A = this chain, B = another copy of it.
Amino acid sequence: MTEQSDRPYHHGDLRRAVIETALAMLHEEEGWQFTLREVARRAGVSHAAPYKHFPDKAALLAELALIGFDRLRETLLAALPASAASLRETFLPVARAYVAFGEANPALYRLMFGADAGKPSEVHLSERALSTFAILTDFLARGQEAGLIRERPVPGQAAACWAQLHGLTMLVIDGLLLPEKVGDDAVTAALTTLLEGIEA
């Protein structure tokens, strides 16, 4: 019955296993209330083993958040049209992809911007997060050069765009954009408002 003899003393890839288990639980339980011990149990190791790879729970959560930024970055890059079409045709898919990412990974997205994954500022100022932010900055800079986007200081404009996307995503995640209260496609409406604020 017990398969204790099967399992070797050393897991071999515990760090990855812990991360993947935690990601799974984050998704299943829609939150990070899960316990480190439960993660260890599901990974098939002792309750203290994860501590060999993460100093504490916050450190694990911080790594999950960073993975979230990695995934978001790839999602956005994948949604970026190769050809330089019109502003609308370029911006909307990316913006939609952003919101969709949050909708598909609500707990992960919350964690990324929450205060439980170490110090937020540390996570957000890390290379992996900043390079995700940079996608937007680059996009706006190129858009301004091409004359598609109103000329404004890029960083401030980027802040505005990011804020809009982030806020919108949170509203979606919280289920605050009920169609009967806010119209059929509030996301498109909001994105259009943003667009009208930046297009040349």
**Chain A residues at the B interface, C-beta cutoff of 8 Å:** 30-31, 107, 110, 113-115, 120-121, 124-125, 150, 152-153, 155-168, 170-171, 173-177, 181-183, 185-198
Contact of B174 with A167 in the complex, beta carbons under 8 Å:
no
Interface pair A124/B198, CB less than 8 Å apart: no
Chain B residues positioned under 8 Å from A170 (CB to CB):
113, 163, 166-167, 170
A152 to B193, CA, bound (A): 9
Minimal Cβ-Cβ distance residue in B for A180? B155
User: Are A162 and B171 in touch, CB under 8 angstroms?
Assistant: yes
25 contacts between A and B (CB under 8 A): A31-B115, A107-B115, A110-B114, A110-B115, A121-B176, A124-B176, A150-B196, A152-B189, A157-B190, A159-B182, A159-B186, A159-B187, A159-B189, A160-B190, A160-B192, A160-B194, A163-B167, A163-B170, A163-B171, A166-B170, A167-B167, A194-B194, A195-B197, A196-B197, A197-B198
